[in-house]
Amino acid sequence: MVASIREYRAKIKSTEATKKITRAMELIAASRVIRAQQQAAAAAPYARELTRAVSALATYSRVDHPITTEPENPTRAAVLVVTSDRGLAGAYSASVLKEAERLVEKLRTEGKEALLYVTGRKGVAYYKFRQRTLEDSWTGISDRPQYADARALGDALVGSFLTEDGGADEVHVVFTRFRSMLVQTPDVIRLMPLQVVEGEDKPESGEALPLYEFEPSASEVLDQLLPRYVYSRIFFCLMQAAASELASRQRAMKAATDNAQELILHYTRIANQARQAGITQEISEIVGGANALADANAGSE
């Protein structure tokens, strides 16, 4: 009986330690979500100005560029899957991967072969375990993406898209959209061929775009502008994914902390019961012993 009290005490102690850890992780994730949101807000002006410039070009000159032209019969599609580097974020990576699998399946029924590009250790591990070949992968950027990372990803994807033979005919991105602290949903966007004037903040329809002069020429500006537009969209996806990952980790850790608290209560109750049972038994033993002594003494006298 005494042993079982000790057992429960040990369990309570270890659960308390776990609870402290999950609580700390929850708080860290919470503060990082805010930072991730600020980062996303800080990057918004660049994306907005770039979108304006692209739409100006699209309106006033013929947008005829490999990045915006639909290939005639697409046979290969690159899929960029944005997952997390670390676990303990609930179903975050699992749901992105599920969405990615669905997309790959859909592409296959359309007769397109999927070329996988993966960010995040979780995704890499998932595909490695299933022995699927990855075209390329990046790790170590999931919770704090920098523009340079987006650029590296973009370079690879644009490069593959512009390759005539063996390259991708279209490029999709699977990432998690951050809708609110409570809701993050896996989402797919088609990055290339680019549909100009789409996206988060297209200029209002009433706003007339000025007649631009292009230096050195419209096509050269376009050559520079479109890849950057792609990079900026990838950056946007990475930032959304980072905020989602952190929000999802915060929620998972909150649930873990709550569960730990419940377990502690449960164990404390059992430990108290065991302690009480032990005391009751001791009292009844003492009373029983005293009675027996008293009876024996009464008998002998």
CB of 201 to other proteins, least distance (A): 14
Positions touching other proteins (CB under 8 A) are: 39, 42-43, 45-46, 49-50, 52-53, 56-57, 146-147, 150-151, 209-216, 220-221, 224-225, 228, 231-232, 235
Q: Is 88 helix (H, G, I), strand (E, B) or coil?
A: coil
CB of 250 to other proteins, least distance (A): 23
CB of 216 to other proteins, least distance (A): 5
Task: Using CB atoms within 10 Å of the CB of residue 264, give its burial: 0 to 12 exposed, 13 to 18 middle, 19+ buried.
Answer: middle
- 86: its two tokens: 């670390």
CB of 235 to other proteins, least distance (A): 7
Mark residue 138 as left, alpha or beta (left: phi above 0; alpha: psi -120 to 50; beta: remaining): beta
8-state DSSP, 66: T
CB of 49 to other proteins, least distance (A): 5
Peptide bond into 216 cis (omega under 30): yes
Contacts of 123 (CB under 8 A, 6+ apart): 81, 82, 83, 93, 96, 97, 100, 137
Nearer to other proteins (CB atom), residue 39 or residue 160: 39
Nearer to other proteins (CB atom), residue 105 or residue 220: 220
As beta bridge partners, residue 82 has 119
CB of 173 to other proteins, least distance (A): 18
CB of 215 to other proteins, least distance (A): 4
Nearer to other proteins (CB atom), residue 211 or residue 298: 211
* Euclidean distance between CA atoms 35 and 46, whole angstroms: 18
What value, to the nearest 5°, has the Cα angle with vertex 105 and ends 112 and 186? Answer: 115
Nearer to other proteins (CB atom), residue 204 or residue 215: 215
As beta bridge partners, residue 189 has 173
Nearer to other proteins (CB atom), residue 237 or residue 271: 237
8-state DSSP, 108: H
Sort strands 76-82 and 170-178 into parallel, antiparallel or unpaired.
Answer: parallel
